[in-house]
């Protein structure tokens, strides 16, 4: 007769907690791009619609995807953008990034960085892709409004590509090469240029 292996109750609870954590993490991962569904839907202010349509139509002139974006600060438009990937043969020229670039051109980088982020928002006709979302994060544009959302299958496909990117990337040596380039920048902090000696 076989003797049954008894698993301590404490270990069972630990495994149960781990399974619950994995399950919740999985749900969050699958639906992280759909959190907006839990917020009330706002109406597009009427004054912005004609400008978005006009910008998007410029994209169609060169068979670019007709997407348009406006970057707004305290009610004033400081950046306009539409897709120009085909027109200019530039991989990053999506509407959202072009709107940010337009604002940087008109204000300058330093002034743009000083803008109050609570008063800065972006309106776009189509939910930003992963590349544009990353640009919005990097430039600290926290309020983003889009008119049409992407299918969840598109978001999951992008997430899978991001995971594959992190899985396949590799570091190269010497890391000091990039450090030496950083040191050439006039605004690089002096206290970081030389390693601290004990």
Residues that are catalytic:
96
Q: CB under 8 Å, gap of 24 or more: what pairs does 74-82 form? A: 74/116, 74/119, 77/51, 78/102, 78/103, 78/106, 78/107, 79/103, 79/104, 79/106, 80/51, 80/55, 81/55, 82/55, 82/56, 82/58
């Amino acid at each position: 007769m076989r003797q049954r292996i008894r698993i301590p109750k404490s270990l069972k609870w630990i495994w149960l907690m781990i399974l619950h954590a994995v399950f919740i993490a999985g749900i969050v991962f699958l639906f992280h791009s759909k959190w907006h569904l839990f917020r009330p839907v706002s109406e597009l202010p009427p004054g912005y619609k004609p400008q978005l349509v006009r910008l998007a139509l410029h994209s169609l002139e060169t068979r670019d995807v007709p997407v348009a974006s406006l970057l707004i600060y305290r009610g004033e438009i400081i950046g306009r953008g539409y897709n120009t990937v085909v027109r200019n043969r530039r991989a990053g020229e999506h509407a959202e990034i072009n709107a940010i670039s337009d604002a940087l051109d008109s204000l300058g980088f330093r002034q743009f960085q000083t803008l109050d982020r609570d008063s800065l928002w972006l309106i776009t006709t189509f939910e930003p892709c992963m590349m544009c979302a990353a640009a919005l994060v990097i430039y600290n544009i926290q309020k983003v409004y889009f008119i049409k959302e992407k299918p969840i299958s598109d978001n999951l496909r992008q997430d899978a590509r991001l995971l594959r990117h992190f899985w396949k990337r590799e570091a190269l040596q010497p890391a000091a090469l990039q450090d030496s380039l950083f040191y050439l920048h006039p605004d690089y902090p002096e206290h970081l240029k030389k390693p601290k000696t004990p």
